[in-house]
Amino acid sequence: MLTFIARRLLYSIPVLVAASFLIFVFVALSSNPLADLYSNTHLTPADIKVIAHAKHLDASVFERYWLWVQDAVLHKFGNNLSNGDPVWPNLERVLWHTIELLVIVLVLSVLIGVAIGILSAIRQYSIFDYTATTLSFIGFAMPVFWLALILQVIFTNIYLKWHLRIFYTAQLSSDNPKYWLLDRIQHLALPVIALCALSVAGYSRYMRASMLEVINSDYTRTARAKGLPEWRVIGKHVFRNALIPLTTQIAIDFGALFAGAFVTEQVFTLDGMGHYFVVALTSGDPYPVMAWLMVVAVMVIIFNLIADLVYGFLDPRIRYD
């Protein structure tokens, strides 16, 4: 198992290097980082030239990439080009806010989706199965931003009409909340519901299809023929093997969840990665944008690495390939 983990870690290194190079090249060549400085009347062309030389903007792309990698590794992505503030403190703050949201969404989506998928497969063509299928199709067809706006309207009207505060419709927390945990739950509930709708629909369908495939396999029929109770057949032989394709989907969906969280954070004005990216993009400063993209790439690589390790746990044959 340790050899399997080490091999997967080594595979991730060239992927990370290639991702960092593509991120730097595309961002560096897509815009002029000195555009805002040229519009500053307090700076002369000589001042701008000094700034460009200090930031190595007059060097080749490959030299700038190597210097940026050094800055990213040794100085936590360095400083902003526009005001000289360090990049990492603000990025770290919003990163943990988004991770807090996404972890809750992933845990709830997987638990609810897997439970619905298992029950739908066991009770195939039952009323529960038809109901779950219908609701999952509705979840697939419902845009995240539309659901987020509808939830805002509903709970805003509840507060205005009955003066009953159930959930907050904006921001991440109140000023000096008396009960921090309750306050955070009230602020994150609506974004979590909006993001979970599509995820639960997807995971329940994947789990149902995977369960039905495994239930009809030869080794499942053999386990039943040996006289094992049904709960043990489902729990030990069917459930574990049915999780393998779902693990792939969860790892892939993490990147999609970042994009979904991007829109949802804007709707609910959360202080997360989405808001940070919009501010960095509109400012024209390439370094926060590259840092944001690099963090997202690292998170996607980490989740795919976790998926590979989970494969090895669920199916021992994989780690011996």
281 phi and psi angles, rounded to 5 deg: -70, -40
pTM value is 0.84
More confident residue, 239 or 321: 239
b/e per residue, 108-138, with b = 16+ CB within 10 A? bbbeebbebbbbbbbeeeeeebeebbeebee
**Confidence check: pLDDT of 166 > 80:** yes
User: What's the whole-number mean pLDDT along residues 52-76?
Assistant: 84
**CATH class of residue range 98-319:** mainly alpha
CB 87 within 8 A of CB 285: no
CB 98 within 8 A of CB 265: yes
Q: What is the pLDDT of residue 204?
A: 92
Domain ranges of the chain: 98-319
**Confidence check: pLDDT of 231 > 90:** no
The per-residue pLDDT of the chain, averaged, comes to: 84
CB 290 within 8 A of CB 24: yes
pLDDT digits (tens, 9 = 90+) for 262-294: 888 888 988 888 888 888 888 778 889 999 999
